[in-house]
Structure 1
Amino acid sequence: MANRTWNQRSIVLYFYFYFRDSGENNTLLFQIYIGFRSPLIFWESSRELVDMQEIEKHLKDLGIRPTAMRILIYQFMGSQNAAVSLSLVEENFDKSDRTTLYRTLKTFEDKGIVHQIDDGTGIPKYALCQHEHQAKKHSDLHLHFHCTHCNETICLTEHRIPQINLPDGFVPEDINMLIKGICDSCSG
């Protein structure tokens, strides 16, 4: 079975392949995505498909239309061990429009899917939020580590930023705690 999905600039075909077991149950074996604007071909096993369906549901729950590009960028962000810059996203989606990629990251940031990290390099980096979405506006109050050797920025989600009591009249808008040094990969 093939489904076609169109957005303004691309066509993506979804092919679903089923296996009928002895109990007459259909089990999804794999799914293939083929993008015609940019030459993207993805082979998904049934385990990965569950992740794709979860991503699609998560985006819908947040009021985001789950386009093929948004799902792929979400999946890419989830596969990264460190925060990524727009340039790195561009390198991995080289046939895609920079504006589309930027708008996707900004939409994800506005909806609390990713958070932006200022690691002192002058290049904003983005990381997938590791919490359940509970509020429209949130802050990821955890530490970030920037390796001065490999230039990667890593979320240290298990280390929380402590509550800071500000003087009366001071209203915090953002908190960013960054540790600079050499990561475990570079120091070993």
Structure 2
Amino acid sequence: MTKQAQELIKAYGLRKTSCRLDILHLFLTNEHALAHADIEQTLNDRYDRVTIYRTLYAFKEKGLLHSINDVSGAIKYALCQEACDQHQHYDNHIHFSCTACGQTFCISEVHIPPMQLPAGYKADKLHFSAEGLCKTCSQATAQN
């Protein structure tokens, strides 16, 4: 297990288990968001479905992960890039879904201006998404 995964588990006040370390390691080594099925398949059914859900839930509740409803309707998870905590997620960035490979990416480099809602409205969560070709698929298309 990576030292970074162990440090994050400790920093977020989570109990260190092999499942949590394995799942966090997957997120640290992937650039794209992961669905429950991706995690289950990658870990070769080492952990049951409920244990994986509980781990994802604990990570999300502590502010380590945020969930994404991608364009296919699947729920995927990605590491929080900013100082999220159990009280507030700061994941107001674009989620990019690639139409070729099906992966979903967090694009935190794009700055989203503050949104002014009409009087009486208060947004608790914002969803920004884009669709197209990711940089890997775009490069592959350009080479063909």
Q: Please state which band the TM-score falls in when normalised by the shorter chain.
A: 0.7 to 0.9
- Normalization by structure 1: what TM-score? 0.68
Residue 148 (str. 1) matches residue 96 (str. 2): no
Which has a greater percent of helix?
Answer: 2
1:136 pairs with one of 87, 103, 115:
87
The answer to whether the 8 A contact 1:118-1:125 is kept is yes
1:73-152 aligned within 5 A:
73-93=23-43, 94-133=45-84, 136-152=87-103
Give the whole-Å Cα distance in 2 for the aligned partners of 1:121 and 1:177: 15
Cα RMSD of the aligned pairs, angstroms, is 1.7
Shift of 1:133: 4.0
Point out where structure 1 has 5 or more consecutive residues left out of the alignment. Answer: 1-43
Tell whether 2:101 aligns with 1:158. Answer: no
Cα distance in 1 for partners of 2:81, 2:40 equals 23
Partner of 2:142: none
**Mapped contact 2:84–2:90 kept (Cα < 8 A):** no
TM-superposed CA distance for 1:157, in Å, is 1.1
Distance 1:70 1:145 in 2: 26
Letter of the aligned partner of 1:73 in structure 2? Answer: I
Higher relative contact order (CA 8 A, sep 6+): 2
Which is greater in Rg? Answer: 1
- Match of 1:24? none
Q: Which amino acid aligns with 2:120?
A: G
CA distance in 1 between counterparts of 2:75 and 2:111 reads: 21
Residues 141-177 of structure 1, C-alpha deviations (whole Å, 9 max, x = no match)? 1111111111111111111322101112112121110
Change (3 A) 1:134 1:84: closer
8 Å CA contact 1:149–1:186 kept in 2: the answer is yes
Q: Is the 8 A contact 1:111 1:137 kept in 2?
A: no
Mapped contact 2:66–2:89 kept (Cα < 8 A): no
SS in 2 for 1:95: coil
Structure 1 residue runs of 4+, over 4 Å off?
A: none
Aligned length: 138
| 1:131 partner letter | E
Which residue of the other structure, out of 63, 68, 71, is the alignment partner of 2:21?
71
> What TM-score, normalized by structure 2, do the two folds share?
0.86
Q: Pick the structure with more strand per residue.
A: 1
The answer for unaligned runs of 5 or more in structure 2 is 140-144
